[in-house]
Amino acid sequence: MEFLVVLCLIKLVAAVLLARFPVDGAVVRQYTCDSYFQSWCQLHNATVHMDTDVQASMFPRVRQLGFIHGSIGNFSHTLNNQLFKAGVLRVFARGTRISSLTMPSTIEQLYLRDNGLRTVEIDPRTRYLMRYLRLQMNKLRTIARFEHLTQLHELNLCDNLIEDVPLDTFATMPALRQLILCGNHIKTLGGSTPPVVQLAALTHLDLGGNFLAALPLDRWQLPQLINLSVRDNLLTALDSALLVRRFPLLRILDASANALDCRSYREALQTFVNRSVVHLIDRRMCPVDDAIVLDGEERRHSKAGSGGVGAGGATVPVEVRHLKERIFLQQRTIQQQRMEIEQLRANLTTLMEQFDLVAGPARALDPF
């Protein structure tokens, strides 16, 4: 492992500019390049006040550049050009107070978490190469023009202020695998022109922590969906049969913290157990005990068996049912533990990102 660490006060401006602008120049107080983790280069406490600072800046010629704290303000077209000249393909910025972003056309991975970002400018005439975009923990209210980011593989807009998400926004992204919209104020998923929106590559959809009262399942064509989260919304009904038909590869469903009616709860229970879907469902509105609902055939066999046995054998079906209930409760415990394990894996990925040690395309919140 080889580390190149330079802990000194440096300027990112030319000597002439430094002499002319001793205060307002683009400053970085700590510069660290880590050649072990794919040439990660970090600029700590960088300060960029205006585009003239950026024009005279000399960024390190690395593929991956991180801005840690400081103040950038406007992630402008000028800044994008300088990053392009330095050959940067991946940018990470945290705590840099970026309020405005002009979407770069040459960056493939952009992570701007927790920056107070309010606006994103996307030019419909530009062809963007962006594949991984994470803008979580900001102050975005709209996803206007995001449909022009046609090369996206992952989009993370968790913990913003978005209220409306038109379904057809993502229909232009054929390679999109992860769509993470948790922790917003989303009330509707409508407003789309086509009657059915197809996302052929999507495997992970997170809509948790919003204000959704219904899911337009009949308008979603997601043949590869494996993980669906709708936790902590305003759902009172869930058509589990339609859900497994629309998403035949579904393996994990988190519908916890929703006040589902008892009928939806029991139907979901039977459907997901039979399909081996790891699930979390809130039973607060259903007073009945958790139990496997036997299908008609099992019930007929139970009645036939009890009819051919004397009074002493009448308790056999009851014992079988109790055994099935215990097995089911054990399965539920295992499912909850699996969900916790997957969440721990996601947390580990997030921690790696926080310490800037992600050594490949990040897979945050991806349970597989």
Burial class, 8, CB count within 10 angstroms (exposed 0-12 / middle 13-18 / buried 19+): exposed
Residue 360, domain member (yes or no): no
Residue 300, domain member (yes or no): no
Q: Distance (Å, rounded) from C-alpha 102 to C-alpha 161?
A: 19
Residue 8, domain member (yes or no): no
**How many structural domains is the chain composed of?**
2
Least Cα distance to 220 among 191, 248, 195 occurs for: 195
Query: In terms of domains, do 118 and 64 share one?
Result: yes
Which of 166-170, 189-193, 208-212 shows the lowest mean pLDDT across its residues? Answer: 189-193
pLDDT at 201: 97
Task: Out of 122, 152, 182, pick the residue that ends a domain.
Answer: 152
3-state secondary structure (DSSP) of residue 341: helix
Tokens of 307: 């009819």
Q: Sheet containing 119-121: which strands, arranged edge to edge?
A: 74-75, 100-102, 119-121
Which CA distances in Å does 289 have to 84, 263, 294, 295? 61, 13, 14, 17
Q: What is the pLDDT of residues 92-135, one digit of tens each?
A: 998 899 999 999 999 999 999 999 999 999 999 999 999 999 99
Amino acid at 340: E
CB 24 within 8 A of CB 48: no
Query: In terms of domains, do 35 and 146 share one?
Result: yes
Amino acid at 285: M
Which CA distances in Å does 270 have to 151, 217, 280? 39, 19, 13
Q: What is the pLDDT of residues 147-164, one digit of tens each?
A: 999 999 999 999 999 999
Task: Out of 289, 322, 356, pick the residue that ends a domain.
Answer: 289
Mean pLDDT, rounded, for 264-286: 86
Q: Distance (Å, rounded) from C-alpha 198 to C-alpha 304?
A: 48
What is the dihedral sign for C-alpha 331, 333, 336, 338?
Answer: negative
Q: Percentage of the chain surpassing pLDDT 70? A: 71
Least Cα distance to 13 among 46, 58, 48, 51 occurs for: 58
DSSP H helices in 44-123: 51-55, 77-85
Confidence grade of residue 367 (pLDDT, cut at 50, 70, 90): very low
Query: In terms of domains, do 105 and 220 share one?
Result: no
Half-sphere exposure of 210 (CA within 13 A, CB side): 28
Q: Is the pLDDT of residue 47 over 80?
A: yes
Query: In terms of domains, do 39 and 147 share one?
Result: yes
pTM of the model: 0.77
Q: Is the pLDDT of residue 7 over 60?
A: no
pLDDT at 95: 87
Least Cα distance to 320 among 299, 290, 335 occurs for: 299
pLDDT at 11: 36
Q: Percentage of the chain surpassing pLDDT 90? A: 46
Question: Integer distance in angstroms from the first to the last C-alpha of the chain?
Answer: 29
Residue with tokens 């979407």: 103
Residue with tokens 């709860």: 265
pLDDT at 271: 92
Q: Distance (Å, rounded) from C-alpha 293 to C-alpha 128?
A: 51
Q: What is the pLDDT of residues 295-348, one digit of tens each?
A: 444 554 455 555 544 445 556 677 776 776 677 677 777 777 777 776 677 667
Question: Bigger pLDDT: 277 or 346?
Answer: 277
pLDDT at 51: 74
Residue 318, domain member (yes or no): no
* CATH classification at residue 241: 3.80.10.10
Q: Is the pLDDT of residue 28 over 90?
A: no
Confidence grade of residue 77 (pLDDT, cut at 50, 70, 90): very high
Average pLDDT of the chain, as a whole number: 79
pLDDT at 313: 53
pLDDT at 170: 94
Domain range enclosing 189: 162-289
